[in-house]
Structure 1
Amino acid sequence: GSVPSAFVRTWRDGGRDAAWVHAAGEIDDTAVARLEQALHRAELRARLVVLDLRELTSIDASGIEMIARASVRARRTGGRLVLVRGPAEVDRMFVGTGASDSVEIVDLDSVERLLHPLPKTSPGRFV
């Protein structure tokens, strides 16, 4: 059988009051606490936390639940948790558990727009 890939998480400052948490490998019972800790640290530093799921190989119900709780917690405290869409099987877990209703899942280009919004143009003056 295949060896499950180890869970890895990294954190980086996304600028513009944003933090980026990158999850790779498997999120199971043993990895949930580490990911929750990383998300909590990111929430303390930034109003917008981006959780990148693109390199996730699998996630179980405990991981989905924890991410849904983190999303609700972020909104309650005036922040926002945005998930970068992962592989199809990870996406299916969010939909299958009903968690897709309580979390914000977007594609990478949507996150780029959040982090680097178009400059505001000043309205033209008519004389």
Structure 2
Amino acid sequence: MRVPRLEVDTGSLAEYRCLRFRGAMVLMTLPETHDALVAALADRPRALVLDLREVTDVDPAAMGLLLRARDRLRQEGGELLLLVGSRADRPLGPAVMLQVAGLDHVLRLFTDDESLLRDYAPALSSAG
């Protein structure tokens, strides 16, 4: 049996803090996901981007963690934004997994950097 792995890199996308995940977001890698989110949320960002385009699997435990991160950001007046890629490019990728779980209606999903910057940035400008 292969042990799932997850790598997390911290960076930015335009002016937003961004965590880039590679590998499996599953119960066995939950500590890595949790630690990265806690560190990013400590700064109380107005928006936190999670790039999941290189994630191979998202299980219910990881989905629950994403929802808790969204809730915490909202309590602070922030937003959780997920880059999930295209359903066509990755038929079993995070976009499909989150849609099947019904989370595409409660999480802000974007296919690429350009759509996130185009569709989210104006909301920030008008809110200020």
Unaligned runs of 5+ residues in structure 1 are 121-127
Name the larger-Rg structure.
1
1: distance between equivalents of 2:18 and 2:120?
A: 10
| Map of 2:36 onto structure 1 | 38
State the identity %. 23
- Offset at residue 64 of structure 1 (A): 1.1
Normalization by structure 1: what TM-score? 0.76
Query: Which one of 87, 97, 118 corresponds to residue 113 of structure 1?
Result: 118
Distance 1:102 1:12, change over 3 A: same
Query: Which one of 75, 100, 125 corresponds to residue 104 of structure 2?
Result: 100
Distance 1:110 1:15, change over 3 A: closer
Q: Provide the alpha-carbon RMSD of the alignment.
A: 2.5
Unaligned runs of 5+ residues in structure 2 are none
Residues 41 and 73 in structure 2, CA contact (< 8 A), matched pair in contact too = yes
Normalization by structure 2: what TM-score? 0.76
Distance 1:78 1:93, change over 3 A: same
2: distance between equivalents of 1:62 and 1:68?
A: 10
